[in-house]
A and B are shown apart, each in its own frame.
Chain A
């Protein structure tokens, strides 16, 4: 089939455009390779685009904009994200929707800015002090660059929380021929502010898990936001029952309301399931196609929701005698996330550092 609107594009362009079409109205950026391309596009496209003097400021401005009713986005890589961590915790505790796009590159520390990696997953698992889960969605191809930002933004709004959209250098910088006609229209995220009679308490979720939102500055209701332990009205508390219940609610809402996104391409008779995410998805798809062409049945699970880890992944993996988890890091972080440090004997990993995993490496492990 011939493409109907072929373009040569990188993922950064699609991500920036998708965010704006989904209703994100403010981008706060600080340049860092390999996220700078998103910053470049965002500066052209977002209704409000602000260059921040550092990544701590970037997250604080985003929190302020979010508190005032905007829907902010930033993109960064590990060194910048490290500076954002306390502020992401703040936004999580204040329950402020925002999107942080984390473009992974080779670490540790500054590492190699221009080399891709998938090394930040375990950092994200445990990012929130106390072990509270942060929604993390992961882009696996160009279509995801279009499809996932609106879902991530809707999740941020629906759950009143920061959401991390995880990706990596080659996903957002490599140019690929792509058919824009394959992209579905994006509708702006559905968002309503509380307009009831009050009294309004910024953290009173009623019978639900997510409190209604009112921006600060509202002329009818007083809004109290708080990054410290607080009661349902946002007043600082030590460890009162009400305050601790409020904190526990943060976990409950993310655990139960984060969308579970994955693709399962199963083949009848397959003994092995390949599990992957992010840029390694391309190599996995190619390996699976090659194996199937050679008469080797194999299935493929592409994980898009990474955190909180959907339990369905264990269910799916459990149906197969063997699983091969492919990811671009040294430790096998996705594998550790799923099974801990001691992998079951029927689970193997294919890993690489400083380069992309090749399809033949995955195929070899499947047939080993």
Chain B
């Protein structure tokens, strides 16, 4: 018995082509001189997958159709001298087709052995995406009406350096050996007919004839070679460096102030509010900044809620804002329901906008005309600070100057 097996009697139906796949796999592994513990065999759900217990290699038995992705993870986590082999059926290849294409595209270092017996054997003989046209199954007794996937062609198209198709009877160990010797992705499709369901439903059909009629041509194909994908470990640096905000100013704020900045997506609302929060911190306050926006990017409203406080902030929501600053129609439309019931506080409004009904004091200012749409939020916040003094305006100007935005915006000149 081969050193790659711990027991030679395989758990397959008599006459099943899966026997041959195991025998040829073992022969190929012996030919390339590998040791069993240098090999990881990844299987999944299907008749092919119950063979794990026969192998002396490492074995990993996963989910239906996911074995290629699982094996890709293993291969990416192991050194290159280890060999990862995948056993998958035609049903698994159907449900997991994207995993196969991705592994081929990435050129992950695995060898996929596709057991194509033309149907789902374990669940009673249903057709798969690899069932050829006209093939009779329990669900399609008149013949399967659709064409099959050509997996070798698909993986070659995705960038695989090696793909092959063989017909089960015979010795195809050398093809498997070639596949195993590829450094990168390789796939060998082995054709057979399920002896339990395929032969029963198609008693007169011979495999070679079926393959010829279906266009399942045997062959060995190669694509351009390229390095196998192996994620390299990187040295990285802490995410916490260069974050500190030093206190250089002071604020007269004793309690808490809640502020809404409402504008349009793509106009720097969130960044402006973040800079305000940092400026407030530089003036000795606690600050939070919460963003609210639709799922669209660059379209629609963008609203930031800022809380400034002399004491720590546990809850950073804003229910009744002290200040609302609106720079665009999108922001006004989004915040109208919050502005309307305001009984106090101040609403700063760009002069291009209609004045909404509100109990807040309304201050109409020219934000967009003065600073442009992109900087309207920044300028509006500067205006808010100049008129309230909650945080020294120079703290905000300094914070903006020291931010990446500082190279593009001369806030002090506005």
Contact = CB atoms under 8 A, between A and B. Distances in A.
Interface residues of B, number: 70
A57 B240 CA distance: 30
Nearest to B306: A175
Nearest to B308: A177
A283 B244 CA distance: 27
B159 to A, nearest CB: 14
A7 B137 CA distance: 66
Nearest to B42: A64
B62 A13 contact: no
Contact of B77 (A70, A177, A230): A70
Interface stretch (A39-47, A152-160, A204-212, A245-253): A39-47
Contact of A7 (B45, B74, B244, B315): B244
Nearest to B238: A17
B311 to A, nearest CB: 9
Most buried by B among A2, A225, A359: A225
B37 interface: yes
A8 B239 contact: no
B132 to A, nearest CB: 28
Nearest to A43: B236
Interface stretch (B146-154, B285-293, B363-371): B285-293
A358 interface: yes
A56 B37 contact: no
Interface string B238-282: 111001111100000000000000000000000000100110110
Most buried by B among A16, A25, A68: A68
Nearest to A231: B53
Contact of B236 (A44, A63, A64, A141): A44
Given A44-B239, A64-B75, A177-B287, A282 B70 contact: no
B242 to A, nearest CB: 10
B315 A60 contact: no
B241 to A, nearest CB: 10
A79 interface: no
A113 B63 CA distance: 29
A1 to B, nearest CB: 10
B316 A174 contact: yes
A8 B245 contact: yes
Contact of B239 (A13, A54, A86): A13
A50 interface: yes
Interface in B29-66: 36-38, 40, 45, 50, 52-53, 56-63, 66
B234 interface: yes
B173 interface: no
A57 B233 contact: no
A216 B36 CA distance: 12
Interface in A37-94: 41, 44-50, 53-54, 56-57, 60-70, 86-87, 90, 94
B82 interface: yes
A60 B72 contact: yes
Contact of A56 (B57, B69, B316): B69
Interface string A220-259: 1111111110100011100000000000000000000000
B37 A90 contact: no
B245 A47 contact: no
A116 to B, nearest CB: 9
Contacts of A221: 37
A315 interface: no
A224 B77 contact: no
A289 to B, nearest CB: 8
B381 to A, nearest CB: 15
A7 B233 contact: no
Given A7-B244, A57-B69, A217 B234 contact: no
A63 B53 CA distance: 21
A176 B78 CA distance: 40
A348 B52 CA distance: 54
Contacts of A64: 69-77
Given A13-B240, A47-B233, A68 B74 contact: yes
Most buried by A among B40, B58, B236, B294: B58
B184 to A, nearest CB: 17
Contacts of A281: 314
B316 A282 contact: yes
A173 B316 CA distance: 12
A295 interface: no
A356 interface: yes
A235 B66 contact: no
B278 A68 contact: no
A317 interface: no
Contacts of A286: 314-315
24 contacts: A7-B240, A7-B243, A50-B76, A57-B98, A57-B99, A60-B62, A62-B73, A64-B71, A65-B77, A67-B73, A68-B73, A174-B291, A216-B40, A222-B57, A222-B58, A223-B58, A225-B59, A225-B61, A226-B52, A285-B314, A285-B315, A356-B315, A359-B315, A360-B319
Sorted nearest first, the 8 A-B pairs with minimum C-beta distance are: A64-B73, A68-B77, A60-B69, A61-B73, A64-B74, A7-B243, A285-B314, A282-B314
Interface of B: 36-38, 40, 45, 50, 52-53, 56-63, 66, 69-79, 82, 98-99, 102, 231-240, 243-247, 274, 277-278, 280-281, 284-295, 313-317, 319
